[in-house]
């Protein structure tokens, strides 16, 4: 009950964490914003079970956090902002669903797509693996599946995300990023199987007719996608389709 929870005294350590977070919020516009984001991410984890204090904190944090999701933000700060977002999503869930879709997801997708060009044909031993750009790619690909599920995105919300991740299924991407992309698809398929199956079929065929097990649903004709070079994605897409058939 909301009133009863409000009457309960907060543990001293929770009061202290909330106090620290409120102070740190003021440092987000400063040069120390990377450290501030780390502290806020940790703080959100600590207060996640105290919804009456969590949601107001998320509300206060949202606007300054959004300023970190732009094309001019360096990769290190963008990565930490993404970590804060995924922490928020795991606890606040639908509270930030709509605003995430409108205000930050387009920039995340754009950054993921543009970064894919930088990591093509970069293989083991390259200094690229120590760069903040690679760490950003790895972090987004590792976390965006849980983000999609925690925010209860529906199929129409996910098309651009699937497209961005698919660039990392290409064979000339680092194997670690390919693996994270495969993990993403497996995670999303568990909840949105029909949508993922149709999307994957569209990637390397010219035309495909999908008949659902539900006889009340019409047959869907899918046209192939021309965004990707089929020879580069064939291996990973085939692996996923073979896995999902079983």
Least confident stretch, 5-9, 35-39, 82-86, 124-128: 5-9
pLDDT tens digits, 67-109: 999 888 899 999 999 999 999 999 999 999 999 999 999 999 9
pTM for the predicted model, two decimal places: 0.87
In whole angstroms, give the CA distance from residue 41 to residue 233: 35
In whole angstroms, give the CA distance from residue 179 to residue 15: 41
Say if residue 182's pLDDT is above 90.
Answer: yes
What is residue 1's predicted lDDT score, i.e. its pLDDT?
A: 45
What is residue 211's predicted lDDT score, i.e. its pLDDT?
A: 66
Residues 6+ apart with CB under 8 A from 94: 151, 152
Q: Stretch 118-132: mean pLDDT, rounded?
A: 92
Identify which has the larger pLDDT, 192 or 204. Answer: 192
Tokens of 48: 């996640």
């Amino acid at each position: 009950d909301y009133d009863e929870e409000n009457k309960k005294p907060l543990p001293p350590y929770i009061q202290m964490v909330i106090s620290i977070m409120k102070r740190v919020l003021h440092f987000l516009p400063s040069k120390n914003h990377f450290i501030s984001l780390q502290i806020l991410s940790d703080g959100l984890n600590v207060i996640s079970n105290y919804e009456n204090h969590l949601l107001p904190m998320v509300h206060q944090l949202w606007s300054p956090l959004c300023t970190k999701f732009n094309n001019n933000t360096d990769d290190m700060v963008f990565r930490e902002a993404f970590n804060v977002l995924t922490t928020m999503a795991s606890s606040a869930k639908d509270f930030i669903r709509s605003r995430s879709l409108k205000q930050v997801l387009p920039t995340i997708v754009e950054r993921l797509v543009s970064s894919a060009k930088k990591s093509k044909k970069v293989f083991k031993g390259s200094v690229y693996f120590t760069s903040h750009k690679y760490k950003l790619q790895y972090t987004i690909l590792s976390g965006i599946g849980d983000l999609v599920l925690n925010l209860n995105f529906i199929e129409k919300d996910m098309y651009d995300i699937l497209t961005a991740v698919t660039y990392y299924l290409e064979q000339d991407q680092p194997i670690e990023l390919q693996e994270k992309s495969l993990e993403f698809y497996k995670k999303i398929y568990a909840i949105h199987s029909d949508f993922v199956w149709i999307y994957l079929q569209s990637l390397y065929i010219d035309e495909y007719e999908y008949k659902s097990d539900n006889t009340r649903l019409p047959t869907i004709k899918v046209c192939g996608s021309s965004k990707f070079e089929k020879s580069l994605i064939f291996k990973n897409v085939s692996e996923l389709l073979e896995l999902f058939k079983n």
